[in-house]
Amino acid sequence: MLYDIFVDPFVQMYQMPDFFLQVLWEGFVAGILYALIALGFVLIFKASGVFNFAQGIMVVFAGLTLVGLHENGVPAFVALGLTIVVMGVLAYGIERVVMRPLVNQPDIILLMATIGLTYFLIGFGEFIFGGEPKRMIAEELWLPTGSTAFEFGERGLVILQHIDIAAAVIAIIMVAALGIFFNKTRIGRALRAVADDHQAALSVGISLNQIWAIVWFAAGLVALATGIMWGARSDVSFALEIVAFKALPVLILGGFTSIPGAIIGGLIIGFGEKIGELYWGGLVGGGIESWLAYIIALIFLLFRPQGLFGEKIIERV
Amino acid sequence: MKHLKTLALGTAVALGVSLGGVTPQVAQAEDANYVPLLTYRTGPFAGSGIHIANGMADYLHMLNERDGGIGGVKLAIEECETGYNAQKGVECYEATKGKNALVYNPYSTGITLQLIPKASVDKIPVLSMGYGLSAAADGNTFPWVFNVPDTYWDGASVVIKYIGQQEGGLENLKGKKIGYIFLDAGYGREPIPLLEQLAEKHGFELLKYAVPGKEMQNQSSQWLNVRRDRPDYMIMWGWGAMNPTAIKEAVKIRYPMDKFIGVWWSAGEDDAAAGGAQAKGYKALNFSGVGMDFPALQDIKKLVVDAGKSPTDVESMGGTLYNRGVLNSVIIAEGIRAAQEKTGKKVITGEDMRIGLESLNLDEARLAEIGLAGFAHPMKVTCEDHSGSHPVFIQEWDGEKFVKVTDWIEPMTDTVRPLLEAAAKEYAEKNAPWPERTEPCAN
Amino acid sequence: MFYREAGQFKTSYQSDQAMFPILQDRIGMAVILAVAFIVVPLTANDFFLTSIMIPFLVFSLAAIGLNVLTGFCGQLSLGTGAFMGVGAYAAYKLTTIFPDVNVVLFVLISGFFSAGIGAIFGLPSLRIKGLYLAVTTLAAQFFLEWCFIRIPWLYNDNASGAIEVPKREMFGVIVSGAEATPLARYFVVLGITVFIAFLIANVLRGRIGRSWMMIRDMDIAAELMGIRPLQTKLMAFAVSSYICGVAGAMMVFFWLNAAEPSSYSINLSFQILFMVILGGLGSLSGAFLGAAFIWILPVMLKFIPSAIGLEIGAETVEHLTFMVVGGLIIFFLIVEPHGFARLWQIAKQKLRVWPFPY
Amino acid sequence: MNAIVTNEGLPTSEPVTQREVLLKVDNVSLSFGGVKAITDISLDIQKGEIRAIIGPNGAGKTSMLNVINGFYHPQEGTITWRGEERRKMKPYEAASQGIARTFQNVALFKGMTTLDNIMSGRSLKMKKNFFWQLLWRGPAEQEEIEHRRRVEDIIDFLEIQAIRKTPVGKLPYGLQKRVELGRALAMEPELLLLDEPMAGMNLEEKEDMSRFILDVNQEFGTTIALIEHDMGVVMDLSDRVVVLDYGKKIADGPPEEVQASQAVIDAYLGVSH
């Protein structure tokens, strides 16, 4: 028993290095996708303090809109453009209808509102585009779909999917672009000001409403990118929503407000759950992926309640 | 804001008041046979469910259009959305059973399991065509449940038999590794006892890969495990979004597709198409015809789909799952017809329907008569055997469509049947006191 | 005018701290109980009982359970569904091991199992607060759900992986299993729900209820006043989980008859949370109102189109239901974040001053 | 110094120094990360006195109170309570030893009524367990009524009968402060810590509050330690004053003495260090 837990997995890693590499790669790709969803959460939480449960649904909704439009005869890139417009309208609508009237409500009310939004978007998306899973139009968007295998020692093989590589590249571009946007533009500065202190930002003439709409739009774009990547791995349908729950432990690890935290947290969870599942999961019947991420996050939280990158909390009275 | 609050108060009160009026009308036309269809066109399983739902509804509507129903009595058809959710399924059942429902087709093993104990109490049969509780094939224990034409255990035995054929005999399975990837729910677990039995008997190693329902679209770990274990064959019991994802993942790890065999529910065109060109060679069981070359299907197209009376997409007609839905309705319709003959009544009840299903005999002549010659293997139900363990065939994906690649293969009835009876007995014991069969055999 | 307490004087502290100090409320409560125990059983049909009343009561109880934790103690939990599941599986194991013992007793005992599990998962609440805690309770949800699937002992190795409720009698009446009449099941559910709601109302107005609210309103001040935070929070977790566990057991024994692990999924947690929030955090009557709204509205929406003769596909109805429920949730949150309980108070206030606007 | 409180009937005539020492703080230092909040402070609080802690903003006054009631744990130094050295303890343990307090920013339980807030002060004194609470009828109810009587006495004392059933969130600031005092009194403490009890009050409210503080001290014999910025109030109310600045003690003694201290004058006028 002890052997199975403490020795055997490492022996396996050593004996089949190609497989171990493959596991790490899968963990990396999963981690990137979790990080992208978490990134959407972080953007919104930073700017408005809203824990946006609907981020997972926005991912599906964006993907579904893109594919749905294409299915109805819209050329791929036009559909992409239209989807961006739709996400913009959605962001504006959410700001107008949900966020503005609910400003200054307690966290839990805002959280519930985003869960309400989740329900609404599920119904709305399926109402418009139908409920069956749809194939992502990866090829039409000029995304690579093949795979490359690397020989590795004797009989060894590491297979890299091109789409996964593309996902990683796009994620990096996305984060870099957001970084530039935050640090170099006027709106970015205003956004950081809002994140720091709403009242103070208001008093220097920054429009909160405008910032919120922009942030929701940015989160919508991140969602769209995530939706395309994830959709290319498995089809687009609302079943993906559940996978989005994986982004929550990522947030806990990384802290609710840290963009680097989201990315590193995503990678930790991605690696952790794949390695855990493949080398230790078998001991308890497998499927531990569904909760391992949460347990990792929970244990972590007990030692560092503020997350990886959060600041130490000093309680005051 | 103040007005908003008044409005909210008003809304709340209005909702409260209208509550009283909700109870669905039990008023049902006296001169129709009422068939509720528990379907799902939403949720993670909609991808498979929509085709089934269309097939089921379209055939029954076609009968109404073409023949004015069955035996001169129209069919009242009502769909109730379950979302593959057991709770909603039961709700649908409770809401519709009072309207003199004839039979239920839950299209979910989970819902089926919940309805089985209710069936004998409410006197409404459950028809779980090729799914549900395998043990329900034992008509003596489960007089109200039908799983014609085959149980999952029949299906699993056919897969093993086929693999044996490929390897040049069942004895060559010794020492082989066979992987079983399944939806981790009642559905996917159902065949495990049989597969384990066969593994012991024929000396192969059974490797199980469970896919949790909520992680259907994220199977990379399971397939990494497959890659590590390198099983000689893979068997899949998948449904909904699990199927296309699994096929994609199999392609991704470069698993030889011709050694990958799905159950009849993993046989959708969309499922295989998701794997792209590399999915060529993927195999699946089937027991219903593929294609549109059947007069009855042409009638559906003409009278229902083209007439705009159905949400069905013309292109999806003739697909495996659509045709499966049609076959389901064929069995319902033939059950009703048999019941009308046996009882002499035109408008029948659930109890009559049970008799009708129990005396179902869909032979070749009858299939031809209803315009479905060769659509399915002739099937027959007896009082003892509610499944019949009918032969099934295997179809292969050629990159565009499924092609039948084997002849009809008989299940290993001699192995399966005793196990079924033992399982039925065990079920009755576990659920003691389980009602004894009191219904006389009408055959 | 209609709801006026003028002239009702309290002469003792006892009467002042009664559960319903105002006469009109006492009358109202008596009427509600009379309707529940007499009018409904006499008039309702099977559908109304099985698909509306029984689930409504089960969910009300679950909402009360979550309300103890979230509404009164301020600890946000998304693991309610799993805690309900623990109750259901515990009751199932107990009644299949000891088939001769009264099933209602087991349903009540099963709550202790979920109370224990709930307390264990409540441990992190000492260090983790707010939304972080909410996310960690998801760990409980997903871990327990996994247990329901992967520990076959819990469902007696049924091939189906589901628990199926056997036939059980109480005082010669069949109360569970397929043969139990809706009426019998209704009475059992109603009895348990009213009983537990009454007991919990007692706890909430006393010392323990107050200590929960102290933690909720200002945990630091509470601690400086001698409240032990861990003990108090764990107690809230345990009591809350007990109630949820009983509700979960009732859900399978007296309503669904069989349950799969997916019956106790995260969606159930959300559903209960909606009931609590829309009903009103920290209000027992709110739990009932919220349960009525969240459970009955979709059922209504589902059957309204066919009732008024509209030909809409089943899936369209489902989509519309999602949209309407989601939209209404947002609407009510915007209009009255304190829930229906507050709306009801506003209504009472209006009745009190009627016919004058103020 | 405008005398807003008349000194009629000051506690006792016996010399202040002869009283029993209730709480003694020796060489305490506290820091957060690199920031030193308190450096090497020693002070004592004697039974029955009113002890004021004053100093400019950020002097470490509130931190000192937090140390005394166990919310912060000093890195160095000892705390002696009734002659016994206190180990590192949780705030609720301090509370059970008889230390109560009010807060700089009102820390009432916002969702509860005035009555419930004050009743919450009785939490430590109520013992009936969960099962009696479930039943309510009988012991739990008796206990509740018994404590309700004590709470009503406090309500009468503070003259807040009319707002008994009002949720405290709806009360004006002055009344909230009063309710908070009532809540602390309900604990029947040995030592009552008041953190700026008069901040943000108008003259009339200050007068009321001062009277309540004196009454508490005299009628119930409660020892009081208070932080206050209003020098007039401090000088008139307190028996002894300790002055903190930048986390250090710069003066300690009777009001008049402290008032004359050069260090104190410098601290308040902002002489550069």
Query: For A206-250, what is each residue's pLDDT tens digit?
Result: 888 888 888 899 999 999 998 888 888 777 877 677 767 888 888
Q: Are C13 and D112 within 8 A, CB to CB?
A: no
Q: Is A225 exposed, middle or buried (0-12, 13-18, 19+ CB in 10 A)?
A: buried
Name every chain D residue with its beta carbon within 8 A of the beta carbon of A314: 32
Nearest by Cα to B12 from C174, C332, A264, C177:
C332
Asked whether residue B12 carries a pLDDT value surpassing 60, the answer given is: no
pLDDT at residue A316, as a whole number: 61
Cα separation, B314 vs B323, in Å, equals 13
* pLDDT > 70? residue D6: no
Name the neighbours of A, counting chains with at least 3 Cβ pairs within 8 A. Answer: B, C, D
Helix or strand or coil: residue B118? helix
Chain C residue numbers with beta carbons less than 8 Å from the beta carbon of A285 are: 150
Closest residue to D123, CB basis, from C17, C217, C226: C226
Q: Are residues B319 and B404 in the same domain?
A: no
CA-based nearest residue in chain B for residue A26: B220
CA D258 to chain centre: 21
Using a CB-CB distance cutoff of 8 angstroms, which residues of chain C are in contact with residue B8?
A: 331-332, 335-336, 343
Q: Do A314 and D104 touch (CB under 8 A)?
A: no
**Are B109 and B210 contained in the same domain?**
no
Instruction: With beta carbons less than 8 A apart as the criterion, state whether D233 and D210 touch.
Output: yes
| Domain CATH for D49 | 3.40.50.300
Query: Does the pLDDT of residue D273 top 60, yes or no?
Result: no
Quick one: closest CA in B to A231, which residue?
B217
Could you report how far apart the first and last alpha carbons of chain D are, in Å? 28
pLDDT at B4 over 80: no
Domain that holds residue D202: 16-98+189-269
**Burial B53-84, CB ≥16 within 10 A → b, else e:** bbbbbbbbbbbbbeeebbbebbbbbbbbbbbb
Is the residue at B436 inside a domain? no
pLDDT at D8: 43
Q: Is residue D154 part of a domain?
A: no
How far is C151 from B24, CA to CA, in rounded Å? 40
Cα dihedral B303/B308/B314/B317 (nearest 10): -50
Q: Which of residues 8-47 of A touch B (CB under 8 A)?
A: 16, 19, 22-23, 26, 30
Query: B189, B211, B224: best mutation site toward chain A, by most A Cβ within 10 Å?
Result: B224
Looking at chain B, which residue has its C-alpha nearest residue A13? B228
Distance between CA A211 and CA B401 in Å, rounded? 51
Q: Which residue of C has its CA nearest to A54?
A: C326
Domain span at residue B353 reads 32-151+290-390
Indicate left, alpha or beta for B378 from its phi (over 0: left) and psi (-120 to 50: alpha).
beta
Indicate which of C10, C224, C242 best probes the interface with D, i.e. most D CBs within 10 Å of its own CB: C224
A312–D62 C-beta distance less than 8 A: no
Q: Which residues pair with D32 in a beta bridge?
A: D35
Residues 6+ apart with CB under 8 A from A199: none
On chain A, the residues whose CB falls within 8 A of the CB of D71 are 317
**B109 in the same domain as B232:** no
Number of domains in chain D: 1
Q: Are residues B372 and B256 in the same domain?
A: no
C254-270 pLDDT per residue, tens? 988 888 888 898 889 99
pLDDT at C2 over 70: no
- Domain hosting C156: range is 22-353
Chain B residues closer than 8 Å to C177 by CB = 117
CATH at residue C178: 1.10.3470
Give me B395's structure tokens.
Answer: 């179809």
B76 and B116 part of one domain: yes
Res. C162 pLDDT band, cuts 50 70 90:
confident
Residues D84-106: tens digit of each pLDDT: 888 888 888 888 889 999 988 88
Contact B47 A237 (CB under 8 A): yes
Nearest by CB to D71, which of C224, C229, C235? C224
Beta pairing partners, D53: D227, D242
Task: Tell me which residue range forms the domain holding A234.
Answer: 2-303
Euclidean distance between CA atoms B173 and B176, whole angstroms: 5
In a domain, D149, yes or no: no
Mean pLDDT of B334-344: 91
Domains held by chain C: number: 1
pLDDT (0 to 100) of residue A288: 82
Give the tens place of pLDDT for each residue, D15-39: 445 678 899 999 999 988 778 888 9
Interface of A with B in 282-301 (CB under 8 A): 282, 285-287, 289-290
Is the whole model's pTM more than 0.80, yes or no?
yes
The backbone region for D200, taken as left when phi is positive above 0, alpha when psi lies in -120 to 50, beta otherwise, is left
Q: What is the CA radius of gyration of chain C?
A: 21
Cα-Cα-Cα-Cα torsion B107, B109, B111, B114, nearest 10 degrees, comes to 140
Specify the 3-state DSSP secondary structure of B96.
Answer: helix
Q: Does A297 touch chain C (CB under 8 A)?
A: yes
* Residue A67 C-alpha from the chain's centroid: 19
Q: What percent of chain A has pLDDT over 90?
A: 15
Does any domain span residue A168?
A: yes
Show Cβ contacts of residue C108 under 8 Å, excluding neighbours closer than 6 positions: C192, C246
Nearest CA in chain C to A98: C330
Number of domains in chain A: 1
Instruction: Return the structure tokens found at B359.
Output: 């005396």
Q: Is the residue at A308 inside a domain? A: no
Nearest chain A Cα distance for residue B320, angstroms: 16
Spatial distance between the Cα atoms of A33 and A243, rounded to a whole number of angstroms = 10
Domain presence at residue D90:
yes
Same domain membership, residue B177 and residue B280: yes
| CATH number of the domain encompassing residue B412 | 3.40.50.2300
Contact check, Cβ <8 Å, A317/D32: no
Alpha-carbon span D238 to D255, nearest angstrom: 7
Question: Which pair of tokens denotes residue A182?
Answer: 């935050």
Asked whether the beta carbons of residue A302 and residue C128 sit closer than 8 angstroms, the reply is yes
Please indicate, yes or no, if residue B126 is contained in any of the structural domains. yes
Q: Do A243 and B221 touch (CB under 8 A)?
A: no
User: Do D66 and A317 make contact, defined as CB atoms within 8 angstroms?
Assistant: yes
- CB-CB contact of D30 with D202 (8 Å): no
β-sheet with B205-212: strand ranges across: B205-212, B177-184, B233-237, B260-262, B283-286, B393-397, B402-404
Amino acid at A311: E
Domain annotation covers residue D158? no
Which residues, at least 6 apart from C191, have a Cβ–Cβ distance to it below 8 Å? none
How many angstroms away from the CA of D121 is the closest CA of chain C?
7
Residue type present at position B430: K
Same domain, B130 and B260: no
- Per the prediction, chain B carries an average pLDDT of 86
Q: Is the dihedral of CA B212, B154, B104, B90 positive or negative?
A: negative
Q: Which residues of A touch B217 (CB under 8 A)?
A: 234-235, 237, 239-240, 243
Model confidence band, residue D52 (pLDDT cutoffs 50, 70, 90): very high
Q: List the single best residue of A114, A121, A291 to mutate versus C (max C Cβ within 10 A).
A: A291
How many other CB atoms are there within 10 angstroms of residue A27's CB atom? 25
CATH of the domain at A45: 1.10.3470
Give which of D110, D119, D124, D133 to mutate to test C binding, by max C Cβ within 10 Å: D133
Strand partners, D79: D25
The answer as to whether C12 is a domain residue is no
Provide, as residue numbers in chain D, all residues whose Cβ is less than 8 Å from the Cβ of A312: 33
- The verdict on residue B14 lying in a domain is no
Instruction: Establish if B305 belongs to a structural domain.
Output: yes
With an 8 Å Cβ cutoff, is A141 touching chain C?
Answer: no
- The answer for residues whose C-beta is within 8 angstroms of residue B438's C-beta and 6 or more apart is none
Distance CA A197, CA A194 (A): 5
Residue C39 CB neighbours (<10 A): 11
β-partners of residue B183 are B211
Is residue B26's pLDDT more than 80? no
CA distances from C155 to C107, C207, D38, D100 (A): 16, 40, 60, 53
A238 touches B at CB < 8 Å = yes
How many Å lie between the alpha carbon of A108 and the closest alpha carbon of chain C?
A: 8
Instruction: Give the rounded distance of the alpha carbon of B208 from its chain centre.
Output: 23
Same domain, B281 and B324: no
DSSP-H helix ranges across A247-286: 247-254, 259-275
Alpha-carbon torsion (A126, A127, A131, A135), positive or negative: negative
Residue C358 lies in a domain: no
Residues in chain A: 317
B15, B133, B311 member nearest C297 (Cβ): B15
Contact, B30 vs B287, CB < 8 A?
Answer: no
